[in-house]
Amino acid sequence: MTPMSTAFLPPDFFRRYSVSDIFDRGLECEVDLGCGDGGFLLALAQHEPDRLFLGVERLLGRVRKVCSRADRSGLENVRCLRAESRYVLEWMLQEGSVRRLHYLFPDPWPKEKHHKKRLVQADFIPVLHRVLTKDGEMLFRTDHEDYFSWVCDCMGASGLFSRVDWDDDAFYPKTDFQQHWESLGKPIYSARFLRHEF
Ligand SMILES: C[S@@+](CC[C@H](N)C(=O)[O-])C[C@H]1O[C@@H](n2cnc3c(N)ncnc32)[C@H](O)[C@@H]1O
């Protein structure tokens, strides 16, 4: 049997996919939004072979890098999709199919005139709530203090998530951007949001 490639190439962008459509098995997965070159995604997938990981990234060169690295390592629990994060969560994944969202060092769009381009907006929080499992969570990390407050404010105001402690004991690799910012001595801000079940 030919092994499945890491690249997930949806045959149709106008339908929803279950986890088993993407991985050939499983009911829930974890999603790395804006996975970049995949350093974090691949390290976590290697460490947790029983969990399933989908990287979402809009730049083709980065997706190609993730896929060739994963294929070379023989990782069978990772897929990478070239698409826009909000579109994937809102229109491509089934409700209640994501156990954990990793939102790590996203583009902060620092200028006020660009704030509307930030991924997290008030109307994005119900999208997160829909796609996560009942006990789902989002892990968020950034070097950008203003965007950190923005995301915490949006999540808090929604009433759909609670901010809880981030358990530092669990294996959680540093992303490429985290290593870069830490090497420059920048502070890092982290938040973990648990989905409310009504
Ligand atoms: C600053 S980099 C961080 C990469 C990685 N998470 C890390 O921490 O090393 C942000 C990444 O998100 C991707 N990205 C930004 N906006 C996106 C969107 N709306 N949908 C998908 N990918 C996006 C960028 O192309 C880039 O690779």
Q: Helix 39-47 vs helix 60-73: angle between axes, to the nearest 10 degrees?
A: 30
Q: Residue 120's domain spans which residues?
A: 19-195
Q: Return the residue whose CA atom lies nearest to atom 24 of ligand 1.
A: 34
Instruction: Provide the number of structural domains found in the chain.
Output: 1
Does residue 174 form part of some domain? yes
CA 93-36-32 angle, to 5 degrees, is: 35
165 lies in a domain?
Answer: yes
| 3-class DSSP assignment, residue 129 | helix
Active site (annotated) includes residue 107? yes
Q: Whose CA is nearest to atom 11 of ligand 1?
A: 34
Tell me, in angstroms, the distance from the centre of ligand 1 to residue 28's CA.
Answer: 22
Kindly name the residue from 24, 32, 50, 107 that is annotated as catalytic.
107
Measured in angstroms, how far is the CA atom of residue 107 from the centroid of ligand 1? Answer: 6
The CA 20 to ligand 1 mean position distance, Å, reads 25
Residue 7 located in a structural domain = no
Task: Assess if residue 127 is contained within a domain.
Answer: yes
Residue 5 resides in a domain: no
pLDDT at 4: 58
Quick: pLDDT tens for 108-160: 999 999 999 999 999 999 999 999 999 999 999 999 999 999 999 999 999 99
Tens digits of pLDDT across the chain (198 residues): 445 589 999 999 999 999 999 999 999 999 999 999 999 999 999 999 999 999 999 999 999 999 999 999 999 999 999 999 999 999 999 999 999 999 999 999 999 999 999 999 999 999 999 999 999 999 999 999 999 999 999 999 999 999 999 977 889 999 999 999 999 999 999 999 999 998
Ligand 1 atom with least separation from CA of 102: 6
- Asked whether residue 158 is domain-assigned, the answer is yes
- Is there a domain that residue 190 lies in? yes
Q: Which atom of ligand 1 is nearest to the CA of 88?
A: 20
Residue 2 within a domain: no
pTM assigned to the model? 0.97
What is the pLDDT at residue 119? Answer: 98
pLDDT of residue 198: 82
Q: What is the CATH number of the domain that holds 113?
A: 3.40.50.150
At 193 the pLDDT is 98
